Amino acid sequence: MAKIIGDSIKNIPWQDKPENYIYPVWRYDGNPIVTRDNLYMANSIFNSAAVPFGDGFAGVFRVDMRSRDQKIFVGFSKDAINWEIKDKAIFNGYDPRLCEIDGKYYLTWVNHTPHGTTIGIAYTEDFENWTQLEDACYPVARNGVLFPRKVNGEYMLLIRPCDRGHTPYGDIFLSHSKDLTYWGKHRFVMGPVKNWEMTKVGAGPTPIETDEGWLLFYHGVITSCNGFTYSMGAAILDKDEPWKVIHRADSFLLAPHEDYECFGDVPNVVFPCAALADADSGKIAIYYGAADTSIALAFTTVDETIKYIKDNDMIK
Ligand code: BMA
């Protein structure tokens, strides 16, 4: 039995796996859980993140407005399924992630600069007052994802620089910092290798610590004659040297097969940005953006996911 190392989340959203369903990740039957109807003037709400907060949950939401400005909003929920989104944006930008480190909630997001996108970092203790830190790197980068604790005394951030000399592009790197301001010791983590993720990869939710290493869900993109298709994959990173990939599934865990994942502003997108993981039960609830239009929820357990990764391991 694999174990999650972390907090217990008693009221984690959950539905048992449907009978006769053979894959390790299954969808919530009330999907999508958040749509444009949740906020006035929203064109779409997707690629968003949630954490336990108080006796419920708090979230940061990517909202593309009816003007098509990209903004980040805060929301709250008692059950992590029904969300109330506040009507004032906190930052411009997109694809937010949330990570609790030592009682502070860190937001990382794709921050627009005049010179391209980079990784913005800000923190809050109450989801009302935010302190913005220096951007983590110079442009162009996306998919900045913090680890939930220091590793060997240093903060760790996964980043997806968006240029390796040709396009399309996208490899995951890891950077170290002692103070969340100065980042260095950049390490390559993984690039696209297999069919379903042949074009680019990017980190998804905050990595989940397990006794086998860091469980990383990520998105991978394939290019077909019809454009990009975004699916979710998973890998296990070394506990002490998390830039080392020790297991990695050669096949996706979730791909756009349902209508709300296949039809929308950008068709065929499953884009995971957050996961709630309950250390007591091993249950994991994954939030993902569906077709750049709405937010959906899927479930797995640490055992099922790790077994699938090892059964289909591309790292020999
Ligand atoms: C990526 C990002 C994501 C988006 C995806 C599919 O490059 O912009 O926010 O979900 O494309 O459009």
Q: Which two tokens stand for residue 240?
A: 């002490």
Which residue, by CA, sits nearest to atom 3 of ligand 1?
A: 95
**Given strand 56-65, what is the order of strands in its sheet?**
42-53, 56-65, 70-77, 84-92
Query: Which atom of ligand 1 lies at the shortest distance from residue 228's CA?
Result: 6
- Identify the band that residue 38 occupies on the pLDDT scale cut at 50, 70 and 90: very high
User: Which residue type sits at 132?
Assistant: Q
Give the pLDDT confidence score for residue 167 in this predicted structure: 62
- Contact 135/121 with Cβ under 8 angstroms? yes
pLDDT of 139 strictly over 70: yes
Give the pLDDT confidence score for residue 145 in this predicted structure: 98
Q: Give the residue with greater pLDDT, 316 vs 84.
A: 84
Q: How far apart are CA 107 and CA 197, in angstroms?
A: 26
Q: How far apart are CA 8 and CA 16, in angstroms?
A: 18
Q: How far apart are CA 249 and CA 265, in angstroms?
A: 29
| pTM higher than the cut 0.85 | yes
Quote the mean pLDDT of the chain.
Answer: 96
Query: Which atom of ligand 1 lies at the shortest distance from residue 271's CA?
Result: 10
Give the pLDDT confidence score for residue 100 in this predicted structure: 98
CB of 47 closer than 6 A to ligand 1?
yes
Q: Which of 252, 248, 246 is nearest to 271 (CA)?
A: 252
- pLDDT 10s digits, 64-117: 999 999 999 999 999 999 999 999 999 999 999 999 999 999 999 999 999 999
CB of 294 closer than 6 A to ligand 1?
no
CB of 269 closer than 6 A to ligand 1?
yes
CA of 286 to the centre of ligand 1 (A): 17
- pLDDT 10s digits, 149-203: 999 999 999 999 886 555 667 899 999 999 999 999 999 999 999 899 999 999 9
CB of 94 closer than 6 A to ligand 1?
yes
Which residue, by CA, sits nearest to atom 10 of ligand 1?
A: 292
- Contact 169/200 with Cβ under 8 angstroms? yes
pLDDT of 62 strictly over 70: yes
Bridge-based pairing state of the strands 26-27 and 208-210 = unpaired
CA of 316 to the centre of ligand 1 (A): 31
- Contact 13/276 with Cβ under 8 angstroms? yes
Using alpha carbons only, give the angle 296, 111, 136 rounded to the nearest 5 degrees.
110
CA of 78 to the centre of ligand 1 (A): 28
CB of 230 closer than 6 A to ligand 1?
yes
Give the pLDDT confidence score for residue 170 in this predicted structure: 86
The residue to mutate among 95, 160, 200, 263, having the most atoms of ligand 1 within 8 angstroms of its beta carbon, is: 95
The residue to mutate among 46, 61, 142, 266, having the most atoms of ligand 1 within 8 angstroms of its beta carbon, is: 266
Residue 294 CA, distance from chain mean position:
15
Give the pLDDT confidence score for residue 213 in this predicted structure: 98
Residue 103 zone, left/alpha/beta (φ > 0; ψ -120 to 50; rest): left
Give the pLDDT confidence score for residue 162 in this predicted structure: 81
The residue to mutate among 292, 293, 294, 295, having the most atoms of ligand 1 within 8 angstroms of its beta carbon, is: 292
Give the pLDDT confidence score for residue 1 in this predicted structure: 86
Question: What proportion of the chain, given as a percentage, has pLDDT over 70?
Answer: 98
CB of 292 closer than 6 A to ligand 1?
yes
Give the pLDDT confidence score for residue 194 in this predicted structure: 81
Which residue, by CA, sits nearest to atom 4 of ligand 1?
A: 292
- Taking residues 244-264, what's their average pLDDT? 98
Helix (H, G, I), strand (E, B) or coil at 308: helix
Query: Which atom of ligand 1 lies at the shortest distance from residue 265's CA?
Result: 12
pLDDT of 23 strictly over 60: yes
